[in-house]
Amino acid sequence: MILGRTFIVKSIALCLTALFLFHPVDAQQNEELKEIQQQIKQKQEQIEKQLARAKQLQAQLKAAELNISRTAKELDKTRQELTSNRQQQSELTEEQERLLADVKNQQQALSSQFRSMYMSGDYDFAKMLFNLEDASKLERTFSYYQYLSKARKEQIDQFRALVAQFKQVSESLTQKQQELTVLEKTQQQQSTQLVQQQGLRKSTLQQIEQQIDSEAAQIEQLQINEQALLKAIEEAQQEAQQRPVNLTGLASLRGALLLPTQGRIRKMFGRIRQGQIRWKGVLFNGNTGAPVRAVHDGKILYADWLRGFGLMTVIDHGDGYMTLYGHNQALLKNVGDDVQSGETIALVGQSGGQSSPNLYFEIRHKGKPIDPAKWLKL
């Protein structure tokens, strides 16, 4: 059982009471004892009020960060569609230019053929038949003109097909240009909405910091967050037992796991964080919206907002191994999804009350945190 703020405060009060019980005290000392106990009680009540208000603000923070997550996912999707649209436009433009060149070449070939026929007087097939002096040449001439007529018809059909294809490509290009205009407008609206949501989140975060201004309250917050994480993992594991998986774990991959994201790693595992609370993972400083990748094959065990950790994804790798990815801007996978090594599962963010974008990363084996720096391929 982790020592909480209430337990610490009460322990101090009991120690002081025991001290005065085993040592005779006069009236003045008794008054001092009462005054100290009253101060402790007032401090305890103050911290409880702070935490109660902070709990309300945490709910507001959760709502703000979930809104940011939805908008960020929509914005990321729009960016991908924009990239695809521009690529399609580029391909259509190249095809349009190629078809235009083919149309011009066919046009010139037909023009040249008609001009030659006209200049040689071959434009009147009936006249040529009547002017033939040698009847033996009739069949040969007739076959020749049939061949020319067929070839000319094929060229004309090809020309018409090219013109139709050119028209279709041009219409597709116009449609893509119109779609691009809509996508760019959507992107602008989503970006504006994201900025507004981030402003609301910042305001809420400042209020939380004002409420949690004492070390005792900060320690209590961290303990509450840790308990929430353990509870979430336990519940997720119970649900996962109904979905048996065939995963081999990470035991053979020590020192060879992929980095979950790009950025400078802060090796804080095991160091004091606050009071007696130690870091159980590492932080990667990164850029907002950068991809967060699965370090190895697995199945999504948990994907939701969690107090203190923000938008978090937990991947089950089998054999008691799991990896945790926190402080994300958006989650791209759902519980039960299979993921491959290196697959993007989230976007780097600063959810959970972070002041700058980063990825919080943990590795656990049978519930016990282990040092990620010894497992990642740094």
Domain CATH code at residue 274: 2.70.70.10
Is the torsion defined by CA of 208, 214, 218, 224 positive or negative?
Answer: negative
Among 366, 343, 335, CA closest to 258: 343
Bigger pLDDT: 81 or 347?
347
Q: How confident is the model at residue 145 (pLDDT cuts 50, 70, 90)?
A: low
- The strand pairing partners of 284, in sequence order, are 265, 359
Residue 320 region, left (φ>0) first, then alpha (ψ -120 to 50), else beta? Answer: left
What pLDDT is recorded for position 374? Answer: 94
- pLDDT of 235 above 80: yes
Is the same domain home to 175 and 240? no
Report the pLDDT averaged over residues 282-298: 95
Is the same domain home to 172 and 255? no
What pLDDT is recorded for position 7? Answer: 46
Task: Give residues with Cβ within 8 angstroms of 166, minimum separation 6.
Answer: 96, 99, 100, 103
What pLDDT is recorded for position 35? Answer: 65
- pLDDT of 220 above 90: no
**Count of domains for the chain:** 2
Containing structural domain, residue 112: 1-213
Is the same domain home to 250 and 181? no
Whole-angstrom Cα distance, residue 27 to residue 319? 65
The whole-chain average pLDDT of the chain stands at 77
Q: Of the candidates 185, 213, 241, which is a domain's last residue? A: 213
Report, in angstroms and rounded to the nearest whole number, the Rg of the chain calculated over CA atoms. 37
Beta strands in the chain (DSSP E): 265-266, 272-274, 277-278, 282-285, 291-293, 298-306, 310-318, 321-331, 338-339, 344-348, 358-365, 368-370
Q: Which of 25-29, 129-133, 157-161, 286-290 has the highest mean pLDDT?
A: 286-290
Is the same domain home to 368 and 230? yes
- pLDDT of 330 above 80: yes
| Token digits of residue 248 | 């081999």
- The domain spanning residue 36 has which CATH number? 1.10.287
Whole-angstrom Cα distance, residue 175 to residue 347? 31
Q: Which residue carries 């011009």 as its tokens? A: 104
pTM value surpassing 0.85: no
Give first-to-last CA distance, the chain, whole Å: 35
Q: Of the candidates 198, 213, 228, which is a domain's last residue? A: 213
Q: Of the candidates 157, 183, 213, which is a domain's last residue? A: 213
- pLDDT of 102 above 90: no
Report the pLDDT averaged over residues 10-17: 49
What pLDDT is recorded for position 36? Answer: 63
Is the same domain home to 262 and 316? yes
Is the same domain home to 231 and 204? no
Collapsed DSSP state (helix, strand, coil) of residue 344: strand
Q: How confident is the model at residue 8 (pLDDT cuts 50, 70, 90)?
A: very low
- The strand pairing partners of 278, in sequence order, are 272
Is the same domain home to 188 and 67? yes
Whole-angstrom Cα distance, residue 361 to residue 282? 5
Beta strands in 57-141 (DSSP E): none
Is the same domain home to 297 and 174? no
Is the same domain home to 197 and 219? no
Is the same domain home to 219 and 205? no
Provide the pairing of β-strand 321-331 with 358-365: antiparallel
- pLDDT of 272 above 80: yes
Bigger pLDDT: 72 or 362?
362
Report the pLDDT averaged over residues 83-99: 83
What pLDDT is recorded for position 188? Answer: 79
Is the same domain home to 184 and 287? no
- pLDDT of 3 above 50: no
Task: Give residues with Cβ within 8 angstroms of 97, minimum separation 6.
Answer: none
Is the same domain home to 285 and 335? yes
